[in-house]
Chain A
Amino acid sequence: MTPQLTSQAADTTGRQAILDRLTLRPVRSAGLPTVDASKLTSFEEPLAKFTEMLQSVGGEVHLVDQPDQVTEILNQIEVFSNAQRVVSLVPEAVKGSFDLSKIHDPHDLAAVDWTIAKGEFGVAENGAIWIDGSTLPHRVLLFIAQYLAIVLSRREMVHHMHEGYARLGTPISRFGVFVAGPSKTADIEQSLVLGAHGCRALQVFLTP
Chain B
Amino acid sequence: MNMLPIVDHPAAARPFVTNPDRAPWHDKALWFVRSKRDKQASSVPEWEYLRSLASQIKTATIANLGDYLTEFERNATALGAVVHWAADAEEHNRIVLKILRDHDTHRIVKSKSMLTEECGLNPFLEANGIDVVDTDLGERIVQLRHETPSHIVLPAIHLKKEEVGETFHEHLGTDEGAADPKYLTEAARGHLRDKFLAGEVGITGVNFAIAETGGFVVCTNEGNADLGASLPNVHIACMGIEKLVPRFEDLAVFLRLLARSATGQPITTYTSHFHGPRDSHSELHIVLVDNGRSRLRQSDAFRDALHCIRCGACMNTCPVYRRSGGHSYRATIPGPIGSVLSPTRDSSKHKSLPFACSLCGSCTDVCPVKIPLHHQLLAWRKEIGNLKLLSYDKRISMKMASLLFRSARLFSFAGWVGRASLKVLPHWATHHRLNTWTIARELPEPPKESFRHWYAKNRK
Contacts and interface: CB of A to CB of B under 8 A. Distances in A.
A11 B182 CA distance: 44
Question: Which secondary structure characterizes the binding site on chain A?
Answer: loop
Q: Which of A30, A144, A164 has the most CB of B within 10 A?
A: A144
Interface stretch (A64-72, A82-90, A91-99, A184-192): A184-192
B410 interface: no
Q: How large is the interface on A (under 10, 10 to 19, 20 to 34, 35 or more residues)?
A: 35 or more
Nearest to A168: B248
A183 B277 contact: no
A17 B40 CA distance: 42
Nearest to A172: B275
Given A19-B69, A180-B269, A174 B181 contact: no
Nearest to A138: B230
Contact of B215 (A12, A161, A171, A195): A171
B67 to A, nearest CB: 9
Contacts, number: 290
Given A3-B104, A57-B266, A18 B98 contact: no
A191 B193 CA distance: 21
Contacts of A160: 252, 256
A202 to B, nearest CB: 9
Interface in B127-182: 135-138, 141, 154-157, 159-161, 164, 181-182
B233 interface: yes
Given A143-B227, A177-B270, A180-B267, A32 B60 contact: yes
B181 A188 contact: yes
B63 A175 contact: no
A176 B271 CA distance: 8
B186 interface: yes
A181 B267 CA distance: 10
B156 A179 contact: no
Contacts of A164: 252
Contacts of B79: 174
B156 A188 contact: yes
A62 interface: no
B105 interface: yes
B320 interface: no
A32 B265 CA distance: 27
Nearest to A133: B273
A18 B85 contact: yes
Interface stretch (A73-81, A113-121, A124-132): A124-132
B276 interface: yes
Nearest to A179: B270
A185 B139 CA distance: 12
A8 interface: yes
A197 B274 contact: no
A19 to B, nearest CB: 5
Contact of A188 (B63, B184, B196, B290): B184
11 contacts: A2-B233, A3-B103, A7-B99, A12-B84, A12-B85, A19-B69, A22-B294, A126-B256, A165-B249, A177-B226, A191-B182
Interface of A: 2-15, 17-19, 21-25, 27-33, 35-36, 39-41, 53, 56-57, 106-107, 110, 123, 125-128, 138-140, 142-144, 160-162, 164-166, 168, 170-171, 173-191, 193, 195-199
Given A3-B233, A128-B271, A185-B221, 4 more contacts: A29-B63, A174-B278, A197-B189, A197-B227
Those 10 A-B pairs whose CB atoms lie nearest each other, nearest first: A198-B223, A14-B87, A187-B138, A196-B222, A126-B266, A21-B294, A29-B63, A7-B102, A140-B230, A22-B66
